[in-house]
């Protein structure tokens, strides 16, 4: 076997089985400080959190209406919460829909910085007294291991994984585990970038080069849909159009542009470590009219998120 060929990630779409070559590129998520910096800048330059909030306020209330089956207590699991801003918006919609219930909230987040920000946010909101938070500083797979080791029998009414499945090795096994925790009428919500739009095109064209860093993967909701279809799991899906100002990416040596490129490619120090061909190809794709629009002197990357809603296992 060629040692340079590695299969680290299990893809579920039929066109995705060719082996991935080992690469000298490092995954951005390896370096928590730089990941958080580039994620923060990405949030400032993109409409991502706004489009998530639109989904949360306009669609989520209907999705959450049927959960709980009349119970006075709900269990929630949030995986890859980041600093918790999106999670708390969701919690607040859940509370509005079910104002009488108390909530147990398991937060699963491996970054201590992010977990700390989330804890500070919660400490500033005494109105959250209907919720008990359990802080799990760990990855999704460590959480699964712990859960199984402790032989937990608790069921969840609402599980969500917002923009985090890029960082798990086995997408299908992770989804199946969290879906298996759902109680009657429970819901699992996943969001990722969609195969439609600029990010999908970037993943499709450069998956082999960018995916070989071993810890983060070019996955889109197409991979989720392929997996769910193969298992006969039904789901609802919502398109969430978003955009990001990537103008700075095209100024050689621009510090912010480099941070944004790291986030777009998920590669640590992409500008300094990628081959000149890969860098030129990625930049060309990013500014191609299929992926971006020009407005005045700005280059705006157009992409979609997709939210996939899965019910309890049948
Ligand atoms: N859900 C938040 C954060 C998304 S960024 C939001 O939408 O704003 C992705 C998050 O996943 C980061 O906070 C990162 O620390 C976390 N993460 C990375 N690897 C993970 C893993 N294996 N399991 C769970 N979370 C992970
Ligand atoms: N590859 C990471 C894509 C992303 N993460 C978008 C959050 N938003």
Q: Structural domain boundaries of the chain?
A: 32-64+71-197+214-244+303-311
b/e burial code for range 68-101 (CB count within 10 A of at least 16 → b): beeeeebbbbbbbbbbbebbbbbbbbbbebbeeb
Q: Is the CB of 166 under 6 A from ligand 2?
A: yes
CA distance 163 to 161: 6
Task: Provide mean pLDDT across the span 53-67.
Answer: 97
Please, which residues have CB within 8 angstroms of residue 51's CB and are 6 or more apart in sequence? 240, 241, 242, 305
Ligand 1 center from residue 28 Cα (angstroms):
12
Please, which residues have CB within 8 angstroms of residue 312's CB and are 6 or more apart in sequence? 179, 182, 183, 184, 185, 186, 187
What's the count of helices (H) and strands (E) in the chain, helices before strands? 12, 10
CA distance 116 to 67: 29
Ligand 1 center from residue 236 Cα (angstroms):
23
Annotation: CATH topology of 32-64+71-197+214-244+303-311? Rossmann fold (3.40.50)
Task: Provide mean pLDDT across the span 93-105.
Answer: 97
Please, which residues have CB within 8 angstroms of residue 184's CB and are 6 or more apart in sequence? 69, 312
Q: Which atom of ligand 1 is nearest to the CA of 161?
A: 1
Checking if the pLDDT of 7 tops 50, the result is no
pTM above threshold 0.75: yes
Task: Provide mean pLDDT across the span 217-240.
Answer: 94
Task: Provide mean pLDDT across the span 25-42.
Answer: 94
């Amino acid at each position: 076997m060629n040692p340079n060929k590695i299969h680290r990630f299990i893809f579920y779409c039929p066109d995705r089985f060719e082996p991935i070559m080992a690469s000298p590129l490092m995954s951005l998520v390896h370096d928590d400080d730089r990941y958080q910096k580039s994620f923060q800048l990405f949030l400032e330059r993109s409409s991502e959190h706004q489009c998530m909030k639109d989904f949360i306020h306009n669609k989520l209330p209907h999705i959450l209406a049927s959960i709980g089956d009349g119970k006075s207590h709900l269990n929630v699991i949030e995986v890859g919460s980041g600093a918790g801003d999106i999670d708390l918006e969701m919690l607040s919609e859940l509370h509005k829909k079910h104002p009488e219930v108390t909530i147990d909230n398991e937060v699963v987040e491996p970054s201590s910085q992010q977990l700390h920000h989330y804890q500070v946010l919660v400490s500033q909101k005494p109105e959250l007294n209907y919720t008990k938070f359990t802080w799990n500083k760990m990855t999704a797979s460590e959480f699964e291991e712990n859960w199984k080791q402790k032989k937990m029998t608790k069921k969840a009414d609402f599980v969500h994984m917002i923009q985090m499945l890029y960082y798990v090795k086995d997408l299908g096994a992770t989804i199946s585990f969290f879906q298996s925790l759902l109680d009657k009428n429970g819901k699992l919500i996943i969001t990722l970038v969609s195969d439609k739009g600029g990010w999908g095109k970037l993943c499709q064209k450069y998956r082999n080069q960018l995916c070989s860093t071993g810890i983060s993967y070019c996955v889109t909701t197409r991979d989720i849909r392929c997996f769910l279809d193969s298992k006969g799991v039904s789901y609802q899906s919502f398109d969430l159009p978003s955009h990001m100002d990537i103008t700075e990416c095209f100024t050689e040596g621009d510090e912010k542009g480099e941070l944004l490129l790291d986030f777009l490619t998920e590669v640590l120090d992409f500008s300094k470590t990628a081959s000149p061909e890969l860098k030129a190809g990625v930049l060309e794709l990013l500014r191609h009219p299929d992926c971006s629009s020009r407005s005045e002197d700005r280059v705006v990357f157009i992409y979609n998120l997709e939210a996939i809603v899965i019910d309890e296992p049948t």
